[in-house]
Structure 1
């Protein structure tokens, strides 16, 4: 066994099968089942995923006070009539902003959880820069307290996984990874370092990187491997061969 494999087992042990195995049982609509007039990360997209019988992947960003809002971008420009950073707005201000072309406003994470009500497995991608990690993770944890549905958190930022490992070890946590523009020995070292810091229960891996020696090694030792974003039948075939579950966008179905 290589030194890196030994360190992986020691510093980021794999979860027991019962802890994260539920993640393998469904496909996940990326930002909800959007398209065909439905906006990503909207209530309507979440309901469409539930109707399809699939899980939901969503993104959360921090409002000015750290409260978690369901939105992908750091700025409001692309999907609303407003401009500027989401993090500069108060929760009250964000809750009044409408998604372009709809009557929907930006949902709080608490509102999305109430809407789902345990009817679908939820993956919450925490979009946190290091300075925001504590406040946003605390908001996500507060929203999940008392929630009776099935949910897990994940992030590209290994500090998010580290925060949950230290402060809320009962919450299933994942590490989102891509090898894009990060190849060679430096990239491999960064991936291992992120793994050791986050101590994830699962990985969510860029489908464009599969098959991947790193991802395959983690999967072989017991970390469920999800893959994103599957948008074609060809990508789905790769995902089925090398991962445990897919995070997809239309027109691909799970």
Structure 2
């Protein structure tokens, strides 16, 4: 299978991490307000998807509701309707949006980088429902999109369900101390990005502090677009500018590539 090309738009403007949040106290991550702010600033947008109890793709980063809302427990224990009534902290009344709602809001105005969060728990093969839900929502969408996941099996499923969509691997140095409870053995397996060819990936989005590693340099030398996560200062950008093709950033206004 041939990898679809990553749309050029993903290399032409910096990408906001979980949309443009953190600069306004009423603009939490992955919120409609943060998405509107990113669009207004002309940035690309990265969002995260989790699955509802009734099989809908929801725009939310964590497995659990506790950090970002006053509710508790797993996202997957609530229906899409229930999740849509749960207010985001510091969101000025905003609640958890569905992926379909976000697509309607973005409407092709800026490129949309979609991270499918691991649903297996160990980067294994228990995937499929969230990928299918996301692709169903994207069926009639006309803007520039790309999907990615830390779990390579997720991207293999995207390749099977929607081979025309650009797909990538979110990658890391996989320090076992930072990735617990993921096993050290699985960290060792994932560190060298062994599944890139298997899933016919279009790009990688790699941990910024590790973009100088041999495997990332080799992929980029072979023409693979390398995005990076997550930049939090212009100084960090400057350090990796010659090693990546774009940045995913938060808590400042990026001018990468300008």
Q: TM-score range by the shorter chain?
A: 0.7 to 0.9
In the superposition, relative to structure 1, how do residues 192 and 228 fare at CA in structure 2: closer, same or farther (>3 Å)? closer
1:168 to 159, 162, 165: 162
Q: Aligned with 2:73: secondary structure?
A: coil
1:25 to 6, 9, 12: 12
What RMSD in Å do the two structures reach over aligned CA positions? 2.3
C-alpha distance in 2 between matches for 1:96 and 1:188: 40
2:100 to 110, 132, 146: 110
C-alpha distance in 2 between matches for 1:49 and 1:24: 16
Kept in 1, the 8 Å contact 2:174–2:187? The answer is no
In the superposition, relative to structure 1, how do residues 73 and 186 fare at CA in structure 2: closer, same or farther (>3 Å)? closer
How do 1:215-234 and structure 2 match up within 5 A? Answer: 215-234=216-235
Which has the higher mean CA deviation after the structures are superposed, 38-47 or 212-221?
Answer: 212-221
How do 1:32-43 and structure 2 match up within 5 A? Answer: 32-35=19-22, 36-37=24-25, 38-43=27-32
C-alpha distance in 2 between matches for 1:142 and 1:199: 21
Query: TM-score, normalising length from structure 2?
Result: 0.87
Offset of residue 165 of structure 1 = 1.3
Query: Per-residue displacement from partner, 1:67-101 (whole Å, max 9, x unpaired)?
Result: 11000000001111100000111111111111113
Offset of residue 158 of structure 1 = 0.3
Query: Per-residue displacement from partner, 1:83-125 (whole Å, max 9, x unpaired)?
Result: 0000111111111111113211100000000001111100000
Between the two proteins, the alignment pairs up a number of residues equal to: 241
The residue that corresponds to 1:4 in the other structure is: none
The residue that corresponds to 1:7 in the other structure is: none
Kept in 1, the 8 Å contact 2:19–2:34? The answer is yes
Unaligned runs of 5+ in 1: 1-11
Offset of residue 195 of structure 1 = 2.1
Asked if 1:62 is matched to 2:51, the reply is yes
Query: TM-score, normalising length from structure 1?
Result: 0.88
1:177 to 171, 184, 199: 171
Larger fraction in helix: 1
The residue that corresponds to 1:9 in the other structure is: none
C-alpha distance in 1 between matches for 2:88 and 2:44: 22
Offset of residue 211 of structure 1 = 1.1
